[in-house]
Amino acid sequence: MNFLDHIWLIPLFPLFGAVVMLILGRRFDPQAPSDAALAPGLVESVEDHGHHAIGAAKFLVSLLCPGMVLLSFLLSVGAAIELASTAGKVHQVIQFTWLAGLPFHRADGALARFSADWGFLLDPLSSVMILIVTGIGFLIHVYSTGYMAHDGGYYRFFAYLNLFVFFMLMLVLANNYALLFVGWEGVGLCSYLLIGFYFHKKAAGDAAKKAFIVNRIGDAGFILGMLLLFALVGSVRFLDVNAALAGRAPETSFGVLSVLALLLFLGAAGKSAQFPLYVWLPDAMEGPTPVSALIHAATMVTAGVYMIARSSALFALTPETSTIVAAVGAFTAIFAASIALVQNDIKRVLAYSTVSQLGFMFVALGVGAYWVAVFHLYTHAFFKALLFLGAGSVIHAMSGEQDMRRMGGLKDKIPVTFRTMFIGSLAIAGVPGLAGFFSKDEILWQAWSSPLGSKSIFAVGLVTAFMTAFYMWRLMFLTFYGQPRMDAHTAAHIRESPISMTVPLSVLALLSIAGGWIGVPKLWSVFGDGFRAFEHWLEPVFAAAHSAEEAHHEASVEWLLMALSVSVAVGAILLARRRYLSKAVQEEPEAEAPGLLHKILLNKWYVDEIYDFLFVNGLAKRGGTLLGRFDSAIVDGGVNGAAWLTRFTSRFSIWWDTWIVDGLVRLSAFTVKVWSYPVRLVQNGLVQTYALMVMAGLAVILGYYMSR
Nearest of 326, 600, 325 to residue 460 by alpha carbon: 326
Contact in structure between 69 and 162 (CB atoms under 8 Å): yes
* pLDDT of 471: 97
**Amino acid found at 508:** L
DSSP 605: G
Percent of the chain's residues with pLDDT above 90? 64
Contact in structure between 118 and 39 (CB atoms under 8 Å): no
User: What residue spans of 551-635 are helical by DSSP H?
Assistant: 555-580, 583-587, 596-602, 607-611, 623-630
Q: Looking at 4-13, 49-58, 273-282, 677-686, which range is the least confident one? A: 49-58
- Is the pLDDT higher at 61 or at 31? 61
* pLDDT of 47: 42
Residues 6+ apart with CB under 8 A from 600: 606
Cis peptide leading into 276, omega within 30 of 0?
yes
Could you give the 3-state DSSP secondary structure of residue 92? Answer: strand
**Looking at the predicted structure, is the pLDDT value of residue 11 above 80?**
yes
Nearest of 396, 200, 169 to residue 161 by alpha carbon: 169
Contact in structure between 102 and 134 (CB atoms under 8 Å): no
Q: For the packed helices 415-429 and 499-514, what is the interaxial angle rounded to 10 degrees? A: 30
Contact in structure between 236 and 116 (CB atoms under 8 Å): yes
Residues 6+ apart with CB under 8 A from 255: none
Contact in structure between 168 and 300 (CB atoms under 8 Å): yes
Tens of pLDDT, residues 414-458: 999 999 999 999 999 999 999 999 999 999 999 999 999 999 999
**Looking at the predicted structure, is the pLDDT value of residue 566 above 70?**
yes
* pLDDT of 676: 75
| Residue 510 binned pLDDT confidence (cut-offs 50, 70, 90) | very high
| Residue 112 binned pLDDT confidence (cut-offs 50, 70, 90) | confident
Percent of the chain's residues with pLDDT above 70? 90
Tally of helices (H runs) and strands (E runs) in the chain: 29, 2
Long-range contacts of 669-676 (CB under 8 A, 24+ apart): none
d(CA 437, CA 30): 45
Tens of pLDDT, residues 645-684: 888 888 888 888 888 888 888 888 888 878 777 777 667 7
**Looking at the predicted structure, is the pLDDT value of residue 28 above 90?**
no
Radius of gyration of the chain from its Cα atoms, rounded to whole angstroms = 37
* pLDDT of 548: 42
Q: For the packed helices 533-542 and 124-147, what is the interaxial angle rounded to 10 degrees? A: 120
| Residue 581 binned pLDDT confidence (cut-offs 50, 70, 90) | confident
Q: What is the CB neighbour count within 10 angstroms for residue 532?
A: 17
d(CA 580, CA 475): 9
**Looking at the predicted structure, is the pLDDT value of residue 48 above 50?**
no
pTM of the prediction?
0.85
**Amino acid found at 204:** A
d(CA 590, CA 598): 12
Could you give the 3-state DSSP secondary structure of residue 699? Answer: helix
**Looking at the predicted structure, is the pLDDT value of residue 56 above 80?**
no
Tens of pLDDT, residues 610-641: 988 888 777 766 666 777 788 888 888 888 88
Residues 6+ apart with CB under 8 A from 378: 128, 132, 439, 515, 534
Could you give the 3-state DSSP secondary structure of residue 116? Answer: strand
* pLDDT of 620: 66
Residues 6+ apart with CB under 8 A from 546: 250, 313, 316, 317
**Mean predicted lDDT score pLDDT of the chain:** 88
| Residue 29 binned pLDDT confidence (cut-offs 50, 70, 90) | low
Task: Please compute the mean of the pLDDT values over residues 145-159 and round it to a whole number.
Answer: 89
Q: Looking at 225-229, 314-318, 642-646, which range is the least confident one? A: 642-646
